[in-house]
Structure 1
C-alpha cells in the first residue's frame, strides 16, 4: 500500500506531540544536542537501528555534539507521511535516555 501524503494541517497537528520537531519545506526535522561526541554518535547508532527496523530512513548528520535529522517519504513524491511521523516519534522516545536536549 503506497504512503499517503499528509496535509500541512495534519502534519502541524501531529508535530504538536513531538516537541522540537518542525516542518521545514517538504520535510520534518529536528536537531539534538548532547554532552559530547560519543553520546551523539551512540544516538546515531540507535536511530540507525530504528530506521532499519522500520525500513524508513532519514537524512542524519552527526556533528561534534549534535545530531540533525530530516525526513520525508520518497515513495509519496517527497511528501511527509505517517511513516515520517512514526520515525520521529520513535526517535523522540529514545532521545532522553541518550541525554539529548
Structure 2
C-alpha cells in the first residue's frame, strides 16, 4: 500500500465532505445526540476497523467523536484510509431510504 499524492487525496475528498486533509492525515468530527449514540457508533466502527485491519486515532468527549486516519507505515494517507472513512461514513451518516 503506497502513500497517495496530495492531488489524489484532494480529488477523493470530494466524495467525503465531512473530512479534511492536513498534517498527512484525514480528519473528521461527528456530533451525536448524546454519549450513548456516540459510543454506539464507535463500537460499530470498531468492527470495521478490525475487518480492515486498520485503526483510527480517535477521541470521544460526551457526544463528539473526533477521528484521524493515516497509515503510519507509509507516513501518510493511503487507499486503506479512504476505505475506512467510507465505512465510518456508512455508520455515522446512514443513507436515507
Q: TM-score, normalised by structure 2?
A: 0.92
Runs of at least 4 residues off by over 6 Å: none
How far apart are the structure 1 equivalents of 2:39 and 2:65? 8
Q: How many residues align?
A: 94
Aligned to 1:57, the other structure's residue is in SS state coil
Aligned to 2:30, the other structure's residue is in SS state strand
**Does 1:41 find its partner at 2:60?**
no
**Does 1:83 find its partner at 2:88?**
no
The RMSD of aligned alpha carbons is 0.9
**Does 1:96 find its partner at 2:56?**
no
How far apart are the structure 2 equivalents of 1:63 and 1:29? 16
| Runs of at least 5 residues in structure 1 that lack an aligned partner in the other structure | none
**1:33-65 per-position Cα deviation (integer Å, ceiling 9, x unaligned):** 000000000011011111001000010111101
| Runs of at least 5 residues in structure 2 that lack an aligned partner in the other structure | none
- Cross-structure match for 1:12: 10
